Structure 1
Amino acid sequence: MWSLWRRCSSDARAGIRSLLRSAGAAQESGHRALQAGRLAPATSSSSSSSWSRSAREFSSKASSSSRIPPQALSYGSLAVLMATGGGIAAYYRYLREEHVKEVKNLPSSGKAAVGGPWTLVGPNGQAFDSKSLEGEFSLLYFGFTFCPDICPDELEKIAESVDLVEKLTKRKVRPVFITIDPERDSTEIVNEYCEEFHPRLLGLTGSAEQIKRVTRLFRVYFSKTNDSAEDYLIDHSIISYLVDPEGNFVKFFGKNSTANDMAMEMKRFVDNWKNAHRNY
């Protein structure tokens, strides 16, 4: 192309430039007319009249297509609201799942960075420390007496599992309920609650600071779910912790574990303990 351009005379080049400028000016004028939604009045030329009608039709279609219907605004606002709410809920679930993963990633047997010495309030209103459980296996569960369904289901499962272990091994596993709601769960309330599930279920409460300490030791997640100071539920991790006769954490059981699963696994630990400790 550039070799042909160089071969043209200066007059020819000037003529070509003039034609190009004219075409560009016409194109720009037509573009401005389309934006304004109209062209200049029709001339005597039929082609000019046809071009004017086409331009008006195009401009009308462009204008109508660029107009945003009210429904789009409503749907868009709803979508933003749903996305925001979904994001908050997803983040909350993420925090809870990460906390549960933290416990699940612990070794299922042997010593682990969970558990430790603690002091709470026992059934008689006196101080009760973790050493009082030593000498036998204990199965600890953290919950609250106002729990509508999860805690009762888990405590019934725990009661069934410890009875089954006793039948299989002739050794007792002590079930323990530790409240995570010390504001409402007094000693009397906890005692009455535990009697409903098992005669040997030990109920423990304590001050808010004592509960905070023991839940941190066992990495228990819990959080109030409504704003009311009196009428609220507590979202919490659903895990039972098996502790050996020396007070060491050895195994945890999640919500999906059945009473039979728990009993057979606890039997294994009891049998191993018997073999290693002849005086047990």
Structure 2
Amino acid sequence: MSRFLFSSLKNRSAETLNLLKRSGQSKRFHSSSYLRSARRTTIPTVTEPIPTSHSWRSYIIPTALLGGIGGALIFLHYNDERRAIPKGQGKDCQRCTNEGPIIGGPFSLIDTEGRLVTERNLRGNWVLLYFGYTSSPDIGPAEVQKMANAIDVLESKKNLKVLPVCVTIDPQRDNPSQLRAYLKEFDARIVGLTGPVAAIRQMAQQYRIFFRKVEEEGDDYLVESSHNMYLMNPNMEIVRCFGVEYNAEELSEAIVKELKKTGT
């Protein structure tokens, strides 16, 4: 009888062990709470298998990193949009208002006489600012002529003085003497500014002026660019910008309205 009971118990123990192996209980994970309780009692507790610390970290850490990177990119994109679009302007250059400029900045260039000119030298004047170049075949000369005509109307008919300034976006070819000869054909009152390529690019970036070389054949090329004119107040803050759709009369009238708003 005892031999039969021993054999029966042995078979049941083997079956139980096989059942536990098949169910995966041999791979169970003991939590810290179980380990603490094990010190107080000798009765072991079988817990359900859960992912190890390595497995959940492999999901949480990449997710946190991706979330942080995504948030940083959204923040930078938002701030870049705020820098690129003047308040009240949006996509329409005509709608730029005097709510406060968010473009522009300091610059250091050279005038047509070879003298250093910074934004501080222009303070105290209403300024009409244009970015162009002397080799422009069509739009450039038309815009400079429009600027000259508008300034003439403002001075002769409205008794208002606005300083016209033309900054070249082609400093490789537009040295001071070249720029001086070019602007003199339109109006000697126009201040021409040129300088090192890096300085021109920096100023163009600050004023959100787009330009690039096109149709290059050696030293011969054209420059594609935006053709906006900026009206700036005596504090060198942008009050309004004008596109190519304005003619000289419309430009001068719009400038008069802006100056009247400030009591000038």
TM-score bin (small chain): 0.5 to 0.7
> Do the aligned residues in 2 keep the contact of 1:241 with 1:253 (CA within 8 Å)?
yes
Which moves more between the two structures, 256-265 or 108-117? 108-117
**What's the TM-score once normalised by structure 1's chain length?**
0.59
Match of 2:225 among 225, 236, 240: 236
The one-letter amino acid paired with 2:187 is H
Alignment of 1:182-201 (within 5 A): 182-201=171-190
Q: Give the CA deviation at 1:103.
A: 7.2
Partner of 2:244: 255
> Do the aligned residues in 1 keep the contact of 2:103 with 2:206 (CA within 8 Å)?
yes
Q: Could you give the per-residue CA deviations for residues 237-257 of structure 1, whole angstroms, max 9, x where no partner exists?
A: 011111111111101010001
Partner of 1:226: 215
Residue 178 (1) aligns with residue 167 (2): yes
Label 1:163 to 1:234 Cα distance change in 2 as closer, same or farther (>3 A). Answer: same
Structure 1 segments unaligned to the other structure (5+ residues): 1-97, 276-280
> Do the aligned residues in 1 keep the contact of 2:94 with 2:240 (CA within 8 Å)?
no
Equivalences, count? 178
**What's the TM-score once normalised by structure 2's chain length?**
0.63
Residue 120 (1) aligns with residue 112 (2): no
Partner of 1:133: 122
* Cα RMSD after superposing both structures: 2.2
d(CA) in 2 for partners of 1:229 and 1:245? 42
The one-letter amino acid paired with 1:188 is S
Match of 1:146 among 132, 135, 143: 135
Task: Tell me the secondary structure at the aligned position of residue 241 of structure 1.
Answer: strand
Label 1:105 to 1:197 Cα distance change in 2 as closer, same or farther (>3 A). Answer: closer
Q: Give the CA deviation at 1:101.
A: 6.4
Q: Give the CA deviation at 1:192.
A: 0.6
Partner of 1:278: none
The structure richer in helix per residue is: 1
Label 1:185 to 1:171 Cα distance change in 2 as closer, same or farther (>3 A). Answer: same
The one-letter amino acid paired with 2:230 is Y
> Do the aligned residues in 2 keep the contact of 1:114 with 1:217 (CA within 8 Å)?
yes
Identity within the alignment, %: 31
Residue 205 (1) aligns with residue 212 (2): no
Which moves more between the two structures, 247-256 or 117-126? 117-126
d(CA) in 2 for partners of 1:105 and 1:115? 17
Greater Rg, structure 1 or structure 2?
A: 1
d(CA) in 1 for partners of 2:262 and 2:107? 24
